[in-house]
Amino acid sequence: MRRRLRGGALLAGFLWTTLIDLAAFFLPFAGSLLLPLTPLPVLYFYLRKGRLAGLTILALSWGAVFGVLALAGAASSMPLFLLAGLAGAMLGEFLIRDLSIEEIVLYPVLAFFTAGCLLLVAYGLQTGQEPFAIVETYVADSIRENLKIYGMLGLPPEQVREIEDQLGQIARFFAAIAPAFAIAMAVLALWLNVLSAEVLILQRGGSFPDLGDLTLWKAPDRVVWFLIGSGGMLLATSDPVRQIGLNVLILCAFIYLFQGLAITACFFKRKRVPLFFRYLFYGLVFAQQYVALTVSLVGLADLWIDLRKYIGDRGNPA
């Protein structure tokens, strides 16, 4: 009986992992939403069934996904799913080892960012292109594809032409901030997987590693010096120096965004705000850049004003 249950769990994990990977690749609109969650099945079974089960599911899923992508003539996309599966295994391993939340998320991000840079350099050497030019071309192609979709959704033709006229400048700008954007999106995706795995496991009566009260999380004080330094770098006359400063500035703002989110989560928790309004607010944060900037400024202000000590519990006269 125990073997059948274990085999059933492995089969369920294999199907879940494989199907979500293939859906992320083949479904044009849902793919962008599913891709960040591709590490989730491996992470879930890694924590629920153990290291061996998680790695077995990962290996079987790799083989199936590679076979399908090879038949579709898209085997070149396989490294993306390799990294996503490894991210789930690494998150599971670090959670088992009771590392801090910063270590749990940052170690996989740094590892895969380094791997991505090496793959980009290798591809550039193979094709004779500079890595920055490869990223710029990819960004420009992505913008063109999105313009087609927006045109089908009713975007005025004059706005489409205006964006096409400035495509080169837009592509260069986004290529310049690609390092910071890639790191920020990777951190966000892995953090989303950790939260999702916690919800799924606890709902099924399992145990999840204690991450502490994350509503009290604060960024290290030294981050503010990187923020100040990056602002100074933006005043430099050298383009590479300004690009580095812009990337560091974006990452610092992203860090304080998380601190601001911790403060708002503390407010929601103590005031017992309904889940609907919490999710609505979080959706606005990631949908509207002005809301995200405001939350980042709240996180930055927390360096000098301990905002959480002014948030009393609901019903508490104090």
Q: What is the pLDDT of residues 123-151, one digit of tens each?
A: 888 888 888 888 888 888 877 777 776 66
Q: What is the C-alpha end-to-end distance of the chain, expressed in Å?
A: 57
Q: pTM for the whole thing?
A: 0.84
Residue-level pLDDT at 315 = 57
| Residues 6+ away with beta carbon under 8 Å from 273 | 267
Two structure tokens written together for 290:
């002005």
C-alpha to C-alpha distance for 221 and 231, rounded to whole angstroms: 17
Distances (CA, A) of 217 to 189, 202, 223, 257, 286: 19, 22, 14, 12, 20
Last residue of a domain, one of 190, 212, 234: 212
**Any idea what DSSP says for residue 220?**
-
Q: Do 237 and 287 fall within a single domain?
A: yes
3 state SS of 211: coil
Q: Do 158 and 286 fall within a single domain?
A: no
Q: What is the mean pLDDT of the chain?
A: 84
Q: Do 133 and 86 fall within a single domain?
A: no
Q: What is the mean pLDDT of residues 90-95?
A: 91
Q: Do 221 and 298 fall within a single domain?
A: yes
pLDDT band of residue 3 (cuts 50, 70, 90) is very low
pLDDT band of residue 316 (cuts 50, 70, 90) is low
Instruction: Give yes or no for a contact between 82 and 62, defined as CB atoms under 8 angstroms apart.
Output: yes
Q: Do 159 and 36 fall within a single domain?
A: no
Tell me the per-residue pLDDT of 40-66, one tens digit each, with 9 for 90 and over. Answer: 888 998 888 888 888 888 888 888 888
Q: Do 42 and 147 fall within a single domain?
A: no
Cα 110 to the center of its chain, rounded Å: 13
Total tally of structural domains belonging to the chain: 3
Q: Do 200 and 104 fall within a single domain?
A: yes
Tell me the per-residue pLDDT of 252-295, one tens digit each, with 9 for 90 and over. Answer: 999 999 999 999 999 999 889 898 999 899 889 988 888 999 99
**Containing domain of residue 139, as a range?**
129-176
Q: Do 156 and 263 fall within a single domain?
A: no
Q: Do 168 and 33 fall within a single domain?
A: no
Residue-level pLDDT at 28 = 63
The more confidently predicted of residues 230 and 211 is 230
Q: Do 99 and 156 fall within a single domain?
A: no
**Percent of the chain, pLDDT > 90?**
22
pLDDT band of residue 5 (cuts 50, 70, 90) is very low
Cα–Cα–Cα angle for 127, 129, 133, nearest 5°? 135
C-alpha to C-alpha distance for 55 and 201, rounded to whole angstroms: 18
Q: Which of 33-42, 116-125, 298-307 has the highest mean pLDDT?
A: 298-307
Last residue of a domain, one of 189, 212, 235: 212
Q: Do 92 and 187 fall within a single domain?
A: yes
Instruction: Give yes or no for a contact between 103 and 193, defined as CB atoms under 8 angstroms apart.
Output: no
C-alpha to C-alpha distance for 94 and 101, rounded to whole angstroms: 9
pLDDT band of residue 2 (cuts 50, 70, 90) is very low
The more confidently predicted of residues 168 and 91 is 91
Q: Residue 111 carries which side chain, given as an amino acid letter?
A: A
Residue 117 has pLDDT above 70, yes or no: yes
Q: Do 113 and 18 fall within a single domain?
A: yes
Residue-level pLDDT at 1 = 32
Last residue of a domain, one of 212, 236, 260: 212
